[in-house]
Amino acid sequence: MTISRLTKAVFGAALIASTPLAFAADQPALEDSTIETAKMLRDAALKSDVAYDLLESLTTEVGPRLAGSVKEQEAIDWAVAKFKSLGFDKVYTEPVQVPKWERISEAASVVAPFAQPLTITALGKSAATPEGGVTAEIVHYATFEDLQSANPDDVNGKIVFISNRMERKIDGAGYGPAVQARGRGASEAARKGAVAIVIRSIGTDSHRLPHTGGVNYEEDAPRIAAAALSNPDADQLERMMKRGLPITLHLDIQTKDLGTVEMANVIGEITGTTLPNEYVVLGSHLDSWDLGTGAVDDGAGVAITMATADLIKRIAPRPKRTIRVVLFSAEEIGLVGARQYAERHAANIEEFAIGAESDFGAGPIWALASRVNPDATFVVDKMAQLMGAIGVVRADRIAGGGPDVGQLARVGMPVMDLLQNGDDYFDLHHTADDTFDKIIPENMRQNMAAWAVFTYVAADWPGSFK
Ligand SMILES: [Zn+2]
């Protein structure tokens, strides 16, 4: 924790202890009308199925929407049409240059000593194996760090197998440590002479459905094929290893890199009254992996943020600031749309009052975190108090803003995190099982209610979060 963070935390605690309506001397107070409207929106959201219905529409009418594909373009067209039919004041797109990658086929089997097929999926952006596949002995590492310290002589000519297990945690904290194997394993293995890599899926389920997700190839390493085994298949390999015999795998992965194509971030706005050139950003991403229909990742976020702005437009007095819903392109293959958005708007970052992102599935929101000026902490505390009625507590942590909106935070926009319960998120994440039937309507309403409070208060309180 840095000193400035510590100061903020101490200051925040002091404000929480004072009366709810306390405010800093140089900041405007929260008006009663803002608070009353936020309550009204919260209660109305609990009866609204707009978010649920939008998600049903996106996942049914478009379905999977891999970054750079024809399906992502269909999702962009869907979003523009929806924003327009909902009656947003401004609907527009901004171009994004997206690398296009395609999965063609994927197969794996144990050749010896216990010949049998394995269930795998190519990691996103994986290189292909040579035509006909590769056959090699596996060399096993429990973690990415073990591979890092491995002797190249042990790796050369082999297929690396990393078996680390992701831990289940409410806030997904098990993901970061485990995902190193997926993101960085391929280049590390290739530098040591491996011919391919397979990892245990970065997921918490025990279904025979592998989890895809992006692999990052580093410039100085050959590009080798990278795949994830379903968790039961990783267990199977580990049981085989206990027999002490060398294990030979066959791996055949065919993929295609198809250069760069133009996609778009899609933006819908509800124009503010007295501060129309200041924005409250509601972020999510429109692309998904290709295996499921992207219901929890991140159709839910798209639907929640669109429905929240729509609700405010329909039933509340217009807030002072403009509400800007941004549906980012190509998040899954490396935050491509968000990085280009932040670059494009960095010079005008002063106009971005505050932002938040919905990209952690469709579980209920349980906590609220912020990264704002200490003088604005009393506003966040009031939001948390209003959300208390729907089970949300003030989180004892600094907000990061999420993967996409976090790009704007890096160039100076204050952010909040509406933290969702992610207990089962990584059972479904990046698998063929990420489908609409997993969505619980009541949770979508609760999300909308919390987002309505955040969005309305942030847009109608004229003080500075910076
Ligand atoms: Zn996502």
Comparing 231 with 7, the larger pLDDT belongs to 231
Phi, then psi, of 182 in degrees rounded to 5: -75, -45
The pLDDT-based confidence of 15 (bands split at 50, 70, 90) is very low
In whole angstroms, give the CA distance from residue 429 to residue 363.
13
If you average pLDDT over residues 231-258, what whole number do you get? 98
The answer for residues whose C-beta is within 8 angstroms of residue 194's C-beta and 6 or more apart is: 139, 155, 156, 157, 158, 159, 160, 224
Q: What is the pLDDT of residue 370?
A: 98
Span from the CA of 317 to the centroid of ligand 1 (angstroms) = 32
Average pLDDT over residues 298-321: 98
pLDDT tens track for 353-381: 999 999 999 999 999 999 999 999 999 99
Mean pLDDT of 461-466: 97
pLDDT by residue (tens digit) across 165-214? 999 999 999 999 999 999 999 999 999 999 999 999 999 999 999 999 99
Residue 358 shares a structural domain with residue 294: yes
Instruction: Kindly tell me if the per-residue pLDDT of 426 is higher than 90.
Output: yes
Residues 283, 382 within the same domain? yes
Mean pLDDT calculated for residue range 67-89 = 98
Q: Is the pTM of this model over 0.75?
A: yes
pLDDT interval class at 438 (50, 70, 90)? very high
Q: From 217, 228, 361, 230, select the one nearest 288 (Cα to Cα).
A: 361
Arithmetic mean of pLDDT, 417-425 = 97
State yes or no: pLDDT of 8 exceeds 90.
no
Identity of the residue numbered 205 = D
Give the span between the Cα atoms of 299 and 428, in whole angstroms: 13
Clarify whether residues 237 and 290 are in a common domain: no
**Together in a domain, 291 and 433:** yes
pLDDT band at 24 (very low <50, low <70, confident <90, very high): low
Give pairs for 82-85: CB < 8 Å, separation 24+. 82/54, 82/57, 82/306, 83/266, 83/268, 83/306, 83/325
| Nearest-angstrom CA–CA distance, 428 and 334 | 20
Same structural domain for residues 79 and 151? no
Distances (CA, A) of 420 to 170, 242, 248, 363: 8, 39, 42, 6
CA of 359 to the centre of ligand 1 (A): 5
Distance, CA of 74 to CA of 320 (rounded, Å)? 33
In this structure, are strands 248-270 and 225-229 parallel, antiparallel, or unpaired?
A: unpaired
Task: Examine the pLDDT at 51 and tell me if it is beyond 60.
Answer: yes
Give 82-98 pLDDT, tens digit per residue.
999 999 999 999 999 99
β-pairing verdict for 159-162 and 134-141: parallel
> For residues 48 and 448, is the Cβ–Cβ distance under 8 A?
yes
For the chain, give the mean pLDDT.
94
In a shared domain, residues 211 and 278: no
DSSP per-residue letters across 188-244:
HHHHTT-SEEEEE-SSS--SS-----B----TTS---EEEEE-HHHHHHHHHHHTTT
Residue 243 sits in the same domain as residue 148: yes
Q: What is the pLDDT of residues 101-134, one digit of tens each?
A: 999 999 999 999 999 999 999 999 999 999 999 9
Q: Do both 220 and 276 map to the same domain?
A: no
Is there a domain that residue 263 lies in?
Answer: no
Are both 221 and 290 inside the same structural domain?
no
* Residues belonging to the active site: 331
Question: How far apart are the CA of 19 and the centre of ligand 1, in A?
Answer: 38
Is the model's pLDDT at 19 over the cut of 90? no
Answer yes or no: do 158 and 276 share one domain.
Answer: no
Taking the centre of ligand 1 as the mean of its atom positions, its distance from the CA of residue 265, in whole angstroms, is: 15
Q: How many alpha carbons lie under 13 Å from residue 28 in its C-beta half-sphere?
A: 12
pLDDT tops 60 at residue 265: yes
CA of 363 to the centre of ligand 1 (A): 14
- Residue 26's pLDDT is what? 86
Q: Cα(156) to centroid of ligand 1, in Å?
A: 35
Rounded CA-CA distance 429/267 in Å is 25
Confidence check: pLDDT of 10 > 90: no
Identify the band that residue 244 occupies on the pLDDT scale cut at 50, 70 and 90: very high
Position 428 in a domain? yes
The CATH number of the domain where 418 resides is what? 3.40.630.10
Report how far ligand 1's centroid is from the alpha carbon of 225 (Å): 23
Instruction: State mean pLDDT over 439-452.
Output: 98
On the question of pLDDT at 250 being above 90, the answer is: yes
Looking at the fold, whether 34 and 145 belong to one and the same domain comes out as: no
Q: What is the 198 CA–ligand 1 centroid distance (Å)?
A: 23
Q: Which of 339, 336, 343, 341 is nearest to 324 (CA)?
A: 341
Supply 46's token pair.
């609990």
**Residue 307 domain flag:** yes
Which structural domain, as residue segments, surrounds residue 399? 3-89+271-460
Mean pLDDT of 134-155: 98
Using the mean position of ligand 1's atoms as its centre, give its distance from the Cα of residue 280 in Å: 20
Tokens encoding 196: 């391919």
The CATH number of residue 160's host domain is 3.50.30.30
| CA dist 343 → 282, 323, 337 (Å) | 18, 20, 10
Query: Is 465 domain-assigned?
Result: no
**Confidence band of 25 (pLDDT split at 50, 70, 90):** low
Task: Please identify, among 213, 235, 257, the residue that sits at the C-terminal boundary of a domain.
Answer: 257
Asked if residue 433 is part of any domain, the answer here is yes
